Amino acid sequence: MSDDQTPAEEFNDIADAAADELIALRAENQALKDQVLRVAADAENSKRRAEREANDARAFAIQKFGRDLLAVADTLDRALAAPVDDPAVKNFVVGMEMTQKSLISAFENNGLKKIDPPKGEKFDPHQHQAMMEQPSADVSAGGVIQVLQPGYELLGRLIRPAMVVVAAKGSGAEAPAADAAPNANPYAANDGESGGSVDTKA
């Protein structure tokens, strides 16, 4: 205590100094917390980036191999789609079906997922490729009528879109009744002139 200070004034000075020190400690504590949070966020971002790069490296390594195997899957699909009446051949077909299931299982175990949209599913430009449009009485406009060739994605990355036939504008509930105008063409001119026939079979 200086000679010209009263005890009360000296107490106030000490209290002010303690308050300043407390404020400085709180600011330092907050700065340390912010630093810890930044380090934790950087660590999490680094972890996610490493996982993404590992997945990308894995996908790149097996992408060409996967594409080559798609030709095998397509051949099996076409072979199994053919009608078989001969009992002797049916046993062979059963073996081909088992081979197909094993191939699909191997695909799935390695992150190769088949894209085979069911009839009526909304067209997705990120996974589907529209090969043609057709009017349809039972599928709404913009829906998938038929899959011409299934697509595949590898670890979430599209490597081949599904090639599909899409319902044209005016299909579904908006389409005219088939018995009312069996030869009607939705693409015909408004004056009633008939255009070329359109195959609507899925």
Tens digit of pLDDT for each residue in 20-73?
Answer: 888 999 999 999 999 999 999 999 999 999 988 887 787 777 787 888 888 888
Give start-end residues of each CATH 2.30.22.10 domain in the chain: 113-202
Burial 45-83 (b: 16+ CB within 10 A, else e): eeeeeeeeeeeeeebeebeeebeebbeebeebeeeeeee
Which CATH topology does 113-202 take? Answer: Nucleotide Exchange Factor Grpe; Chain A, domain 2 (2.30.22)
* pLDDT at res. 183: 39
Name the residue with higher pLDDT: 103 or 155: 103
The answer to whether residues 129 and 162 touch, using CB atoms and an 8 Å cutoff, is: yes
Give start-end residues of each CATH 3.90.20 domain in the chain: 1-110
% the chain with pLDDT above 70: 83
Q: Is the pLDDT of residue 195 over 60?
A: no
pLDDT band with cut points at 50, 70 and 90 for residue 152: very high
Q: Is the pLDDT of residue 124 over 80?
A: yes
Give CA–CA dist 173/5, Å, rounded.
95
* pLDDT at res. 173: 54
Top-level CATH class of 1-110?
A: alpha beta
Give CA–CA dist 184/178, Å, rounded.
8
* pLDDT at res. 2: 56
Mean pLDDT, residues 78-106: 85
